[in-house]
A and B are shown apart, each in its own frame.
Chain A
Amino acid sequence: MKKWWLIMVALMIVLAGCSGTGTGSTGGSGGTGGASGTSGTGGTKDGPGPAKDALVVGQDIDAGTLDPQKQGKMPDMNILINIFDTLVTRDADNKLAPALATEWKAIDDTTWQFKLREGVKFQDGEPFNADVVKYSIDRLKNPETKSPIVELNSVKEVKVVDPTTVNIITDGPDPILPNKLTLFGGVMVPPNYIKEKGDDNFAKNPVGTGPFKFVSWQKDNKVVMDANPDYWRGAPKVKHLTFKIIPNAADMVAALKTGEIDIAAAGVTADVADQLKGSPDIDVVGSPWIRTFYVSLDAQNGPLAKKEVRQALNYAVDVKTMIDTVLGGHASRVSTLIPKQNFGYDASVAPYEYNPDKAKQLLAQAGYPQGFTIQFDAGNQDSNIVQIISDMLGKVGVKVQANLVDSKTLSANIAAKKVAPLYYIGNTGWTMDAMSNFQSYIKSDRRYNRWKNDEADKLVDIEEKSLDPKQRQEAFTKLQQLLKEEAPFIYLYQLDNLYGMRKNVQWKPNPIGVLSMYNASFK
């Protein structure tokens, strides 16, 4: 009897040991020997496995629908951008570049004219032309579509000029309409196919003009696509593309290690990246991302209504240490809400320096020499960030009570204005124009605004309505100076996007973070 117990205990220790090497070791002998001979073993029996012409991308969330006009989130867009094309796209340097539209210009304050590419066909043979553009945007704007895509709200009408020319007419001036047509709202859908097959069928068997043809979708498992040999840019380099849905981060890393997936596009956080470093057949690829993070401050109530207090909080947070430690260096400091890559960013506005003494002095000046106590809301995935910020604020006398909730609850609370005076949030201005970064926060009538300032309102009007890039840049520069001075946020950083990639895969991430696999290939 006693011996049996001993054996069981020994077994448990062995089991625990296995798990330890699996997660912890980076180049450990035990795990690596087996891992080197992997290619082709993992999932060859289930469809297009990791053979040389079949790319498998792991993502944590599945698309809700494959109708590109009924989705408004990145996970959906990541899959659909491989089946569909947009009017405008971005080149390797992130500049606007021709896609289904070859050129565009503003012909007056409220009219953008687009010249369209000739000879493009949908995957079912339907031709692409100006009528398609009109149909697509009309369908998007039709309330019956219930589209969650909102950025084309400025569009009043689409006029077909000739088969290769359309005029998009806006309510007021919209300086960044072409930027808005690079993703969601810019996707072109096939009119005849949708009319024939119906919306429901289109959402399950999408047909686009894109580099890959839809094959099958098993919800929350995988979306399978084949290369479109007739793609107008030329066929993609891989023959098959699969998006595999893996919600659990540990499972995602395991699938990458076994070669079941070639690219892990989610779940690679800074600590996971550390674990993967030194792995013989996996690269961790970090790429600058335009998602900026900050702590929103309720500048209308309590101690935060005083500018000195808000400035003090900015001086109190040592962002560089945060980046070097909890974020493993995979982030860069920003001075306001705008990432460095976006139009409107002005490098001459320097970020706040770390200066706790100055913070204490400003707090005393504002009438809070002993500090105060304040609530701080954040998503539970960011607990370590919240902890370090709370700690730093505590050092200058601001006692923080943190409430962690799941990220969707946080967004619901923010929208319902049931959120604490401090909350931690990120924003991706995927149009790569600072207008998107400011849009919902700065002007006093916007949904998430918690700081009212007349000058800011005027400046937002200029950058949102002027078609003159120079005038807009001036407004953005002034806005950044004003935002720094007034400090309605604690400004933090823009994160890097981290991907785990098998070493035989060649793919270059982009700063928006969209998973377009047209250029992906195997070495």
Chain B
Amino acid sequence: MLSYVLRRFLYAVFVLFGVATVVFFIARLTGDPVAIMLPPDASAQQVEALRHSFGLDKPLVEQYGIYLLHLVQLNFGESLRYSEPVARLIAERLPATMQLAGASLLFSLIIAIPAGIVAAMKRGTAVEGGVLSFVLLGQSMPVFWVGILLILVFSVHLKWFPTGGIGGWRHLALPAIALGLHLMALVTRLLRSSMLEALGSDYIRTARAKGLYPRTVVAKHALRNSLLPVVTVVGLEIGALLGGSVVTETIFAWPGVGQLLIQAIYNRDFPLVQGAIILLAGVFVLVNLLVDLCYMIVDPRIQYK
């Protein structure tokens, strides 16, 4: 078990090294940050001077070497636009992004798990049809459209929620729904189909035959066995939630890592783009690992060596 985790960590380091390299070179293909920072009236000397002070005049290989050396020391450098350490800028924004991702995860699971169970149990009825069409709707609407729709209906017309920004739970509600809708749909469908499979299996028939309460049969026997694929998907989707929050954060003026990243890309703020991408990749890798470890809890038959 321990050696498995260690091995996975080693892989993770390789993955992150690859990400760090790719983002370094791709960012530099997109243009010169100094050209964007300085107004058109800047003279060539001024451009050179600022480029020099950012270390952007050094040969690319040398810049890459310095960057890797700093990365090993967990130093992500200083943002060009904010002139602040990248790690601090990201750390400032991370709570907002986590809050949004957490809230949308909660929202999607609270709806999806009961909906998935009900749809499986009421197979072939209008209830299943209703749930499935609602789910289809949730899955087929893009987040930027849902976001603007929610703002128009619930903020502008009904005035229940503010149009954007961060604050209390009222600020959180709409972006969490917009961001969580897709995951909700996915989990509902997945849970429904794996529940159907479980409900048709021999051990459920046995459980029913020995006279267990229907509730116990569903909750303890069928649901637990149906959760494995759900855990996998939810785990992978947490990464997508963090990544997908780039769009949601922009629509709802939510000051998280997503908005930071977008602005960093617009401004060719290389150190910040690198830091944010490495962080997102790191979260993805970490969540993957946690998902694999979670299998052991959900399904005791799985063991890692």
Interface residues of A (CB under 8 A from B): 1, 3-5, 7-8, 12, 15, 18-19, 22-23, 30-31, 34-35, 38, 41-43, 45-46, 61-62, 64-65, 67, 70, 72, 143-144, 146, 148, 150-151, 153, 200, 203, 218-222, 244-248, 250-251, 254-255, 257-258, 260, 406, 408-409, 411-416, 427, 436, 439-441, 447-448
Contacts and interface: CB of A to CB of B under 8 A. Distances in A.
A18 B170 contact: no
Interface string B49-93: 110011000000000000000000000000001111000010011
B162 A42 contact: yes
B260 interface: yes
Which of A3, A64, A143, A222 has its CB near the most chain B CB atoms (within 10 A)?
A64
Contacts of A61: 263
Nearest to B33: A412
Given A31-B157, A254-B155, A406-B266, A246 B253 contact: yes
A416 B39 contact: no
B292 interface: no
A54 B260 CA distance: 28
Nearest to B44: A447
Nearest to B267: A408
Contact of B137 (A12, A245, A416): A12
23 contacts: A18-B152, A34-B157, A38-B159, A46-B162, A65-B82, A72-B37, A151-B39, A153-B43, A247-B262, A248-B253, A250-B151, A254-B163, A258-B163, A408-B268, A411-B36, A413-B31, A414-B35, A415-B31, A415-B36, A415-B47, A439-B40, A447-B42, A448-B40
A479 to B, nearest CB: 17
B167 interface: yes
A416 B32 contact: yes
Nearest to A149: B39
A415 B46 contact: no
Given A4-B129, A254-B163, A408 B168 contact: no
A146 B49 CA distance: 9
Contact of B255 (A150, A218, A409): A218
A42 B8 CA distance: 49
Contacts of A413: 31
Contacts of A409: 30-31
B129 A219 contact: no
A65 B42 contact: no
Given A19-B149, A22-B152, A218-B255, A251 B41 contact: no
Interface in B209-258: 250-253, 255
B296 interface: no
A411 B253 contact: no
A7 B262 CA distance: 40
Nearest to B50: A146
B166 interface: yes
B39 A72 contact: yes
A143 B252 contact: no
Interface string B142-171: 000000110111011111001111111011
B156 A258 contact: yes
Contacts of B262: 247
B70 to A, nearest CB: 18
B38 A248 contact: no
Contact of B148 (A12, A250, A411): A250
Given A22-B156, A45-B168, A220-B255, 16 more contacts: A1-B129, A4-B133, A7-B130, A8-B134, A15-B149, A19-B148, A22-B157, A43-B167, A65-B83, A143-B53, A144-B53, A218-B166, A219-B260, A221-B166, A247-B250, A447-B42
A347 B134 CA distance: 63
A251 B151 contact: yes
B228 to A, nearest CB: 30
Closest 7 CB pairs of A and B: A412-B31, A415-B35, A22-B152, A220-B255, A440-B40, A221-B255, A46-B167
A409 B40 CA distance: 14
A3 B126 contact: yes
Nearest to A22: B152
Nearest to A62: B263
B83 A146 contact: yes
A447 B41 CA distance: 8
A275 to B, nearest CB: 12
A251 B252 contact: yes
Given A4-B130, A250-B151, A416 B35 contact: yes
Contacts of B149: 15, 18-19
Contacts of A406: 266
B259 interface: yes
A8 B133 contact: yes
Contacts of B255: 218-221, 245
Contacts of B125: 1
Nearest to B136: A8
A487 B82 CA distance: 40
A292 to B, nearest CB: 13
Which of B32, B36, B49, B260 has its CB near the most chain A CB atoms (within 10 A)?
B36
Contact of B32 (A35, A70, A412): A412
A394 B40 CA distance: 31
Which of A8, A34, A220, A254 has its CB near the most chain B CB atoms (within 10 A)?
A220
B304 to A, nearest CB: 41
